[in-house]
Amino acid sequence: MFPEEFARVYRDRGYWTGQTFDDLLRERAAAHGDRIAVVDGADRVSYAQLRDRALRLAAGLHGIGVRRGDRVVVQLPNTAAYFDVVFALFRLGALPVFALPAHRSAEIGYFCAHTEAVAFVTTDVHEGFDHRTLATAAEPATLIVAGDAGGHVRLDSLYADPADVARLPAGPAADEVAFLQLSGGSTGLPKLIPRTHDDYLYSVRASAEICALGPDSIYLTALPVSHNFTMSSPGVLGVLHAGGRIVLAPRPDPATVLPLIAAERVTITAVVPPLALLWLEAVEAAADRPDLSSLAVLQVGGAKLVDTVAARIGPGLGCRLQQVFGMAEGLVNYTRLDDPDEIVLHTQGRPISPDDELRIVDERDEPVPVGEVGHLLTRGPYTIRGYWRAAEHNRTAFTADGFYRTGDLVRLRPDGYLVVEGRAKDQINRGGEKIAAEEVENHLLTHPAVHDAAVVAVPDAYLGERSCAFVVPRPGAAPLTLPALRRHMRERGLAAYKIPDRLQILAAFPVTGVGKVSRRELRAALAATQKG
Ligand code: AMP
Ligand code: DBH
């Protein structure tokens, strides 16, 4: 994972403490067992109960053969069961692979196959989709279902007796990989991100401090709980570290979330920019202004927040805005709670750690002058040195000396704050949901009427960006329509957010000069036709 000379420094400086996720929960349950850790509707789980549930589930999972080092794909909505499952796996040293509720058979099948998962934990029916239908895609992984299992293994049946807990083998060490997080990616197949207990918990502890979390903090989980932002910036793990309370929202729409903030006296929550705008507009339009007096901080991240919306958040919601620019690969930047408005409204923050190293470089990896836009490269105590089982991709995704190429174009201000100016990677950022152009193109190419395809971002007033598929039809094929193409993608089991929003038919792709155009140049040329 990390070269030994770096690991030594990160330990010496107190970043890596040797604490595992299991240690964290044990310590918190001992310190404030009776306090409520998780609120999921009527279900209110104390720290002691969470610890007990996780251990009994660990024993049950061990009983069906889940072992230290095994991978288990986890796809759960924002429910208390999520915490039981991940802390059970952490106790065993089995690695959760964090799928999103939006993922379908294409993604789940790939995650299970690529990680050789022994089990796939999901729910019964969520937002109208029957997740049990993913069983075939997940095979040979055992399907474990929270809720009505329909003949598969019922999660509820796996909570073993306390006696079995006592017989559990020793758990993992803190320098081992704890889980695999997803990358938004820019390649044909999604990449998986191995995070260790040591490195991740450092980012969690430091984030909790930056965000001033304490035992009185009440964090609303509006985004999917397994998203890296929600998990760790400071997210649900930051709250557990601080001894605070997590309130789970089943979905992030204003009608669900605003009453929950009022009823549970939520103090902090995290959203992507389109949600911030949606909440703002709902509050401004409400005849009866919802009581948001408890809300101290709204974190916004995942995609660039435009200045005009940033300026409306404080006055409109009566809370402090915090911009968060992070990535599941590691580096997370925050504006600080006591920063002046000029910084909070116009920058995407500065790194967590004094040992986060940033390089802003040009196309030849040469540093650009301070204040100029360049590619952001980073290395540090909680940034990965390579994707999981992706040796070839890692040769280009990282520099020879271990810096991660973020693919983001940024400007570093003299005061150390970053401004995100754009992106060099082949990705669409659809309101915080990342889409790899090549992955979608590969699916488009399976349609019999598609000769060639390129997927690019087009500007969108609400989401920031949407995706547009440029398609060159196969000669003689029946005319292509967007609904037909979208149906084809759905039938292939692709997550809905990756399915192109728009379709543009072209007789041929533009050719610049002689010879073959690179896919990158092609996407850039097509995107340019969409501006303005
Ligand atoms: P991922 O690597 O899939 O975790 O996605 C992280 C990427 O999301 C970053 O590299 C950025 O491209 C984008 N991102 C996250 N937060 C922000 C932000 N506050 N402003 C602009 N882009 C962001
Ligand atoms: O977009 C992200 O991946 C992201 C945004 C904010 C992230 O991973 C994070 C904070 O930790």
pLDDT at 1: 84
Pair (393, 416) in one structural domain: yes
| CA 140 to ligand 1 centroid distance, Å | 34
CB 121 within 8 A of CB 73: yes
| CA 408 to ligand 2 centroid distance, Å | 13
What's the mean per-residue pLDDT of the chain? 96
Pair (97, 160) in one structural domain: yes
pTM score of the predicted model: 0.97
Which atom of ligand 1 sits closest to the CA of residue 348? Answer: 19
Q: Which two tokens stand for residue 405?
A: 């190429």
CB 190 within 8 A of CB 182: yes
Q: Average pLDDT in the 206-225 region?
A: 98
- With respect to residue 213, please indicate whether it lies within any of the assigned structural domains: no
325 lines ligand 1 (CB under 6 A): yes
* Best residue among 186, 227, 434, 497 to mutate for probing ligand 2, ranked by most atoms within 8 Å of CB: 227
| CA 189 to ligand 2 centroid distance, Å | 20
Pair (361, 483) in one structural domain: no
In which order are the strands placed within the sheet that holds 268-271?
A: 43-46, 36-40, 245-248, 218-221, 268-271, 297-301, 320-327, 330-334, 350-351
The band of 513, judged by pLDDT with boundaries at 50, 70 and 90, is low
Pair (168, 29) in one structural domain: yes
Name the domain boundary from 109, 143, 172: 172
Q: Which DSSP letter does residue 218 get?
A: E
**What domain range is 60 assigned to?**
21-33+46-172
Pair (418, 432) in one structural domain: no
Name the domain boundary from 423, 458, 474: 423
Pair (118, 89) in one structural domain: yes
pLDDT at 521: 85
| CA 418 to ligand 2 centroid distance, Å | 15
CATH number at residue 485: 3.30.300.30
pLDDT at 525: 85
CB 454 within 8 A of CB 438: no
Pair (158, 56) in one structural domain: yes
pLDDT digit string, tens, across residues 69-119: 999 999 999 999 999 999 999 999 999 999 999 999 999 999 999 999 999
Pair (472, 406) in one structural domain: no
- With respect to residue 219, please indicate whether it lies within any of the assigned structural domains: no
- With respect to residue 190, please indicate whether it lies within any of the assigned structural domains: no
The helix (run of H) or strand (run of E) holding residue 418 is strand 418-423
| CA 316 to ligand 1 centroid distance, Å | 25
Please list, residue by residue across 188-203, b when 16 or more beta carbons sit within 10 angstroms of its beta carbon and e when fewer do.
Answer: eebbbbbbbbbbbbbb
Half-sphere exposure of 153 (CA within 13 A, CB side): 16
406 lines ligand 1 (CB under 6 A): yes
pLDDT at 512: 63
Q: Average pLDDT in the 42-70 region?
A: 98
* Best residue among 420, 425, 427, 433 to mutate for probing ligand 1, ranked by most atoms within 8 Å of CB: 420
Please give the full DSSP string across 141-172, using - where no structure is assigned. SEEEEES--TTSEEGGGG---HHHHHTPPP--
140: cis peptide before it, omega within 30°? yes
Q: Of all protein residues, whose CA lies closest to atom 20 belonging to ligand 1? A: 304
The band of 517, judged by pLDDT with boundaries at 50, 70 and 90, is low
Q: Which two tokens stand for residue 319?
A: 């809370």
Which atom of ligand 2 sits closest to the CA of residue 184? Answer: 3
CATH number at residue 410: 2.30.38.10
pLDDT digit string, tens, across residues 235-276: 999 999 999 999 999 999 999 999 999 999 999 999 999 999
CB 195 within 8 A of CB 120: no
pLDDT digit string, tens, across residues 164-174: 999 999 999 99
Q: Average pLDDT in the 428-457 region?
A: 97
Residue 459, pLDDT above cutoff 70 = yes
Q: What percent of the chain has pLDDT over 70?
A: 98
Nearest of 63, 61, 56 to residue 71 by alpha carbon? 61
- With respect to residue 349, please indicate whether it lies within any of the assigned structural domains: no
pLDDT at 516: 61
Q: Average pLDDT in the 207-224 region?
A: 98
- Report the domain count for the chain: 3
Q: Average pLDDT in the 413-421 region?
A: 97
- With respect to residue 378, please indicate whether it lies within any of the assigned structural domains: yes
pLDDT digit string, tens, across residues 437-451: 999 999 999 999 999
- With respect to residue 480, please indicate whether it lies within any of the assigned structural domains: yes
CATH number at residue 98: 3.40.50.980
Pair (52, 159) in one structural domain: yes
Residue 514, pLDDT above cutoff 70 = no
How many helices, marked H, and strands, marked E, lie in the chain? 18, 27
Q: What gap in Å lies between CA 217 and CA 245, rounded to an integer?
A: 6
Q: What gap in Å lies between CA 130 and CA 132, rounded to an integer?
A: 5
The band of 299, judged by pLDDT with boundaries at 50, 70 and 90, is very high
Provide the β-strand partners of residue 466.
458
Name the domain boundary from 116, 141, 172: 172
Pair (450, 376) in one structural domain: no
The band of 527, judged by pLDDT with boundaries at 50, 70 and 90, is confident
Q: Which two tokens stand for residue 175?
A: 């320098």
pLDDT digit string, tens, across residues 308-321: 999 999 999 999 99
282, burial (CB in 10 Å: exposed 0-12, middle 13-18, buried 19+)? middle
- With respect to residue 178, please indicate whether it lies within any of the assigned structural domains: no
Q: Which DSSP letter does residue 252 get?
A: -
Contacts of 243 (CB under 8 A, 6+ apart): 28, 31, 32, 35, 47, 214, 215
Pair (27, 165) in one structural domain: yes
Pair (431, 513) in one structural domain: yes
Q: Which residues line ligand 2 (CB under 6 A)?
A: 228-229, 232-233, 301-302, 324, 326-328, 332
| CA 202 to ligand 1 centroid distance, Å | 20
Q: Which residue has the tokens 């929600």?
A: 230
CB 177 within 8 A of CB 1: yes
Q: Average pLDDT in the 124-140 region?
A: 98
- With respect to residue 134, please indicate whether it lies within any of the assigned structural domains: yes
| CA 315 to ligand 1 centroid distance, Å | 26
